[in-house]
Structure formats: structure tokens, C-alpha cells
Amino acid sequence: MVRAKFWENIGKDKVVKYFLIIPVVLVLFGVVIYPFAYSVWLSLHDVTIMNYFHPPFSGVDNFLRIFRDSFFWNSIRVTFTYVLVTTGIELVLGFFLASLMNRNVKGTNIFIYPLIVPLALSPIVVGLMFRMGLNRLYGPISYYLGLLNLPRDLLSNVSTALPTLMAIDIWQWTPFVFVILYAGLQALPKDPFEAALIDGASGWHRLLYITLPLLKPVLAVAIIFRIMDSFKTFDIVFILTKGGPGKSTETITIFIQRMANIQGNVGLGAATTLLVLVFITVFAQFYVKYLSLGEKKR
């Protein structure tokens, strides 16, 4: 009789499984679908604040205007540079620190705690404090840079503004990568390494052919998280430079904000977001396929 109940329950699964996802679908639909659909509608109309409620239909006009806007391409370039450089450096630094920690040198375990601290700060606090610190007239960071004969006006020079923002990002997010990679390293099986040592493989060899391939799933997690989040960077850039000097730090999010809020052209803002979304989706599709291919091989 219990057996029968088992099969009865398995049969019910077909219905239950849909019930289980209803709450998620409801919430996401209720809160995301409307703004999303509205954004699509906005992107197809010439919507400015002036004609906000009765905008004329414009079809692909907004998209064409964006394509022809050199500032859009500039923001793509800025965003890409930002995302790729910060993620890349965070991976290298995070891995480096994680390997050091993994050596289990006596007394180094305690360093895990200070190394996590940067993750706790919010963008607004980080942004405002660096704004104060880098101010030439009363900021200590600027002052000490001057003492070391380094350039003092980091946020005001086209050549140093973006690197400064990237440095702040790296400072804040390397701990994240570090923590994940450290866990990954700690959990690696010992056997392949012992075998390699017996075979006389060099440190580099071990690194490239054993450590990294084994770490792939963990690396994938770190990479996808960082890329997704750094793409959306907005608050820090807004507080520190608002996209300046010139337009050298205008990321795609700042560009969208400028179109939508400052110029009041919400249609262009929506069109840009959709373009970005299309791109992210395509990229992510490739990436996820790559991830699951890797997983299936295991």
C-alpha cells in the first residue's frame, strides 16, 4: 500500500512542480514584466518629458540615433574596458592571494577576516569618502600622493580617472574572488598533485595543467558574478566623476542616465538599455553553454 502511495505521489509531481514555481512567476511578472514592457514601448516612441504622455511613434528611430551617437560607442568602450580590466585583475590578484593563503603558513589564517572587510562597504559610502579624500584642497589621499610625487588630481585627468575608478573597484571586489577561489583551492583533491610531484612536474606545470583545470567550475562562478555586477556599476561612478572628465568615465549606465534623466529623452534611454540587454543575453547564452558543456564533461 505504501508502494502504491509512492507511485501516486510521483504521479502528482506533474502537477506539483508547476505549483512550486507559481510564487516566483507571480512576483517576477508583477514587478518586472510591466517595467520591461513599458521600456520596450518607450524605446519605440519619441518620448521626451515634453510629450511624455502622448509621444509619437518612432519605430527604430531611437535605435538608429543611438547607433550613430559617438558617445554611445564611447560608453561601450569605457564599460568594456572597466569590466574586462577589473575582472581580469581581480581574478589574478584573488588567485594569487588565495594560493598564498592555501599554503597554510602558520598564523596566516587570521588574515581572512581583514581581507573580507572591503565587501561590506556600500557604494555610496565608498564613493563619498573617496570624493573627500581625493579633493586637492582638503583631501588626505591627494595630499599623500603629492608627498610621494605622484599625480594628485587623479579624478580630473582623462588618463587617470578611469584607472582610479577601476582601482577602487579592484580594491573592493578582489576579496570576493579571493574568498571563492580560496575555498576552491582548499577543496581540491590531493592525489593529482602528489602524482605530479612524483613525476617531477614543475610549479608552473602543476599550476597550468592541474590546478586551473580543476578550479574551472569555481572560476566560472567568480567570473560570471563579477562580470554581471560590474556591468551595472553606476553609483560609484556617479558620485565620483559623473562620467567626467570629458566623457572618459561615462559607462553605459551613466550614458543611459544622461539620456533618460538629464536630457529627458526616456525613449533613447530605453532603447539603449534594450541594446545592452540584447548584447548581454547573447554573451550570456554563449557563456552558459560553455559552462554547462564543461559540467557535462565531468
Partner 1 sequence: MLTYLILLLASIVALIPIIWIFHLSIKPESLLYVLPPVLRFKPTAEHYLEVFTYYPFGKYILNSIIVTTISTLVTLAVSFPAAYSMGRFKTGGDNFSFWVLSIRMLPPIVFAVPMFILMQSYGLLDTWWALILVYLTFSIPLAVWILKSFIEDLPVECEEAAMLDGCSRLKAMVAITFPLVAPALIAVAILNFIFSWNEFLFALILTFTEARTVQVGVAEFVTGYAIIWGAIAAAGCIAVIPTLVFIMLARRYLVRGLTMGTVKEEI
Partner 2 sequence: MLRCKSWFSVIVLVVGLSGMFVAGTAWASPAKKTTIHVLVRTGIEADGMKEAADYYNKNVGSKTGINVVIDEIGRHGYLTRVVTMLLGRSPKYDAAFLLSNYVGELASAGVIESLDRYFADKELYPYDKEKVGFLPVSFKSVNYKGERYAFPFVISTMFLYYRKDLIDNPERLSTWDGFLDLAKQFTKSHNPASPTEFGTVMQGKSGECMPKEWYVYFWSFGGEFFGPNWKPQFNSPAAVEALKYKVDLVRKYKVVPPDVDTYEYMEVLSALATGKVPFAIQWDAAYPDIQKETEGKIANIAIRVTPHKEGVDPAAFTHTWTFPINAYSKHKEETFRFLAWLTSDPEGSLWVAKRMSIPLPTKQVFFNSDVLAVNPQWEFMFNFMEQYGHAEVAIPEWPVIHDTINTFFSLAFAGEITPEAACELVNTKVEDIMKRGGYYK
Site for partner 1 in 119-148 (CB under 8 A): 119-126, 128-130, 132-133, 137-138, 140, 143
Q: Which stretch binds partner 1 (CB under 8 A): 82-90, 152-160, 178-186, 200-208?
A: 178-186
Phi first, then psi: give them for residue 57, nearest 5 degrees. Answer: -70, 140
Residue 116's binding partner out of partner 2, partner 1, none, with CB under 5 to 8 Å set by partner kind: partner 1
Nearer to partner 1, 28 or 195 (CB): 28
Q: Is the Cβ–Cβ distance between 166 and 159 less than 8 Å? A: no
Residue 35's binding partner out of partner 1, partner 2, none, with CB under 5 to 8 Å set by partner kind: partner 1
Residue 3 in the binding site for partner 1 (CB under 8 A): yes
User: Is the dihedral angle over the CA atoms 129, 130, 136, 139 positive or is it negative?
Assistant: positive
Which residues, listed in sequence order, are joined to residue 57 by a DSSP beta bridge?
45
d(C-alpha 55, C-alpha 46), whole Å: 6
Residue 21 in the binding site for partner 1 (CB under 8 A): yes
Residue 148's binding partner out of partner 1, partner 2, none, with CB under 5 to 8 Å set by partner kind: none
Residue 242's binding partner out of partner 1, partner 2, none, with CB under 5 to 8 Å set by partner kind: partner 2
131, 206, 216, 232: residue in contact with partner 2 (rule CB under 8 A):
131
- The enclosing H or E element of 229 equals helix 212-231
**Is the N-terminal amide bond of 245 cis, ω within 30° of 0?**
yes
Residue 211 in the binding site for partner 2 (CB under 8 A): no
d(C-alpha 227, C-alpha 106), whole Å: 34
Q: At its nearest, how many Å lie between partner 1 and the CB of residue 195?
A: 20
Residue 156 in the binding site for partner 2 (CB under 8 A): yes
Instruction: Measure CA of the first residue to CA of the last residue in the chain; give whole Å.
Output: 40
Which residues, listed in sequence order, are joined to residue 45 by a DSSP beta bridge?
57
- Cα-to-chain-centroid distance, residue 109: 28
246, 283, 285, 286: residue in contact with partner 2 (rule CB under 8 A):
246
Kindly state the number of chain residues that form the binding site for partner 2, as judged by CB under 8 A.
35
Name the residue with cell 534611454: 269
Nearer to partner 2, 215 or 271 (CB): 271
Q: Is the Cβ–Cβ distance between 206 and 191 less than 8 Å? A: no
Type of residue found at 230: S
Q: Pull the grid cell for residue 16.
A: 506539483
Question: Which of the residues 24 through 83 are near partner 1 (CB under 8 A)?
Answer: 24-25, 27-28, 30-32, 34-36, 38-39, 42
Q: Pull the grid cell for residue 143.
A: 595630499
Question: Which of the residues 217 through 276 are near partner 1 (CB under 8 A)?
Answer: 217-218, 221, 228, 231-232, 234-235, 252-253, 256-257, 260-261, 266, 269-270, 272-273, 276
Residue 152's binding partner out of partner 2, partner 1, none, with CB under 5 to 8 Å set by partner kind: partner 2
Q: At its nearest, how many Å lie between partner 2 and the CB of residue 32?
A: 18
Q: Is the Cβ–Cβ distance between 123 and 235 less than 8 Å? A: yes
